[in-house]
Chain A
């Protein structure tokens, strides 16, 4: 993924772009799975409870 492999590596550009696409799709799928697991574990609720109260530490008085 770094620039050195992108420049003059002699790889087929079509193959490279296919690899990028696969990586992107895999990461998006991983993001979806993580969000789903997080919701099941109740993390969204924990976050919400914190976000609807004034965070005294965040504003500098806690």
Chain B
């Protein structure tokens, strides 16, 4: 069963890592159903970006970083890599904090277990192979069914939930904080690392041009599945946490969302789910940084080689994990407090990523006859513009508020 599932679904599902769960939870606890305003266009956009990315990788047999380096040269590569490193680091911190949150929920002292888990991840990356990670990611999907059932059990107002996806009727006025939250939701769904990751993944899988149609179906299916579950998380949170006016400061609060389904079991179930989601995020995001680094700068990239053979590659893995660990060990830091900022950062650099996608996918020198359709270009250009404007408004707006 696993063999027919490919990069499209995996990349999409991996977008719902600990950061994803936390971002949806916090967003919904603040704004209820209105947190999923625009979820339909976002789903389409996720599908389009992933499809364009995988098409570029299939046709050119190059990763996104490969192409940036070959077409734009060293200086651009260094700049983009620094940007990617910072945003990925934020996601890694999200996920390592996610591990900490789940450990706390299980009453385990995190300052002992967190370093152990990080070492475990490190060993997994050093010794494990890609297939293990793939399967783990797919098993992760099962965790989201908990939210699906919880959503139904909490007897939400479905009509209101759906109305809010078209227009945020629950919001009295559009303020800067709301736009900020929307960008964070966007940023956790469509991530910079995900865009680099899907191309590297497709390239490694060696898909051929004949697979284009199959791949297109798969990425759109992946986008739908991911956002279907995001929708359910928001519904479940809205009907429980938001309805009771609880503010989500830690994992224990977040676990309330699945009490309708799991009752007293909720804490354990939630913490296990969060734990797995965090582990996946904390392994795959540093991996994507290291892959991008190797593509950009041509140093050895492979999980099959020993440490001494590919020092640079493994160095970037461990650096990101260690920074994540140090940040997560700060007692005052909570996943649920920082998650919106990390996701916002991811959303904010999307226009840059879209720029490259548009550039490469319209270049007939790279794509041959598989260049973008007009529709895809309008969607990418339009959303870059909207996101750029939203980011500017939020940044300038928050500046004025302070």
Q: Do A and B bind each other?
A: no
A→B interface (CB under 8 Å) = none
